[in-house]
Copies of this chain bind each other. A is one copy, B any other.
Amino acid sequence: MDQMTIGGRTLGSRLLLGSGGFAHPAALSGAIHAAQAEVVTVAVRRVEHAPGGLLEAIEAAGASVLPNTAGCFTAREAVTTAHLAREAFATDWVKLEVIGDARTLLPDAVELLVAAERLVADGFTVLAYTTDDPVLGRRLEDAGCAAVMPLGSPIGSGLGIRNPHAISLMREAVSVPLILDAGIGTASDAALAMELGCDAVLAATAVSRAADPPAMARALHLAVEAGRTARGAGRIPRLHHAQASTGDEGRPEVSA
C-alpha cells in the first residue's frame, strides 16, 4: 500500500492499534505483528498502575508509541497529560482526547479545540479524536492538528460507522490525514472507512477483546488495504435495477 505522512513522518501502515484491553502483554505483541502496525497508542497512568515494560514490548514489536490523553475531561487535563507523555516517551505526538460524557465517551468539541490550539502552540503533533462533525474537523485542521480522527461510533461499542455520510463529508472538509477512530467492530467496518476516504483506521477494542486478537488484527490489516485499494479502483455506480454482465446477443435458441 502507498505510504501516508502525518506531521512530516512517513508511515507504511494505515492501521494504528490501541494497546488497551488485551488479556496479557504477549497478546499485544502478537496483535502488533498481525496488524503490521507501526503506531500503537498508550495511556499515561501512575506508576503503581502501569506495570512497566509496555514501551519496550511495543518497540520490540517494531512499532512506536502514540500517547493518548484518555480519561481527560478538560483541556487543562489533556494538555498536562500530553506534556507528561512528551517527557516520559520522548515524542511530540499525542492522540488528543477530551471527553465530554462518561457513558458515551464522546468528545467535547469546545474543550477539544482549546486543547488542540494549546498543544499545537507547544510544538506537539496533534492527532485529534473528534465527533464526525465536518465543521469541527475543519476547525481542528485550521488549529494545526496533524490528523483528524473522527469516531464511527462510541469507543468500544463495536457499532461500526453509524453515519457514513458524515464521514464522507469530513473527507471533503479536511485535507490533513483522516483516521477513523472508535467504533470499529470488524473488517467490513475498516474497509468501509477507507472507501469513504479515510487515510487510516485505529482499532483498539475490536482487536484486544476479539476472541482471537491476532486473527482480528490481521483481518483489519487486510481490510484497510482492501478498502483503500477499492477507493482507488473507482467503484461502479449504484443502480436501482439490474445491469446484465452477460450480453443477450447470440444467445442460442434452446427452448424448443
Contact = CB atoms under 8 A, between A and B. Distances in A.
Contact of A21 (B105, B220, B245): B245
Contact of A239 (B49, B158, B162, B230): B158
Given A155-B243, A156-B245, A235-B210, A48 B169 contact: no
Contacts of A165: 153, 159, 162, 240
Nearest to A73: B255
Nearest to A156: B243
Contacts of A242: 103-106, 154-157
Contacts of A194: 187
A156 B245 CA distance: 6
A188 B215 CA distance: 18
Nearest to A109: B109
B229 A191 contact: no
Max chain B Cβ within 10 angstroms of own Cβ: one of A131, A236, A246, A255: A246
A24 interface: no
Interface stretch (A4-12, A57-65, A118-126, A135-143): A135-143
A15 B195 CA distance: 20
Contact of A156 (B227, B232, B244): B244
12 contacts: A18-B246, A72-B254, A81-B254, A104-B134, A157-B238, A188-B192, A188-B223, A215-B229, A215-B232, A215-B234, A222-B229, A223-B226
Interface of A: 18, 20-21, 43-46, 48-50, 68, 70-72, 74, 76-77, 80-81, 84, 100-101, 103-110, 113, 131, 133-136, 138-139, 153-159, 162-163, 165-166, 168-169, 172-173, 185-192, 194-195, 204-206, 208-213, 215-216, 218-223, 225-227, 229-230, 232-252, 254-255
Given A206-B236, A220-B230, 6 more contacts: A49-B250, A71-B246, A131-B133, A187-B195, A205-B245, A215-B234
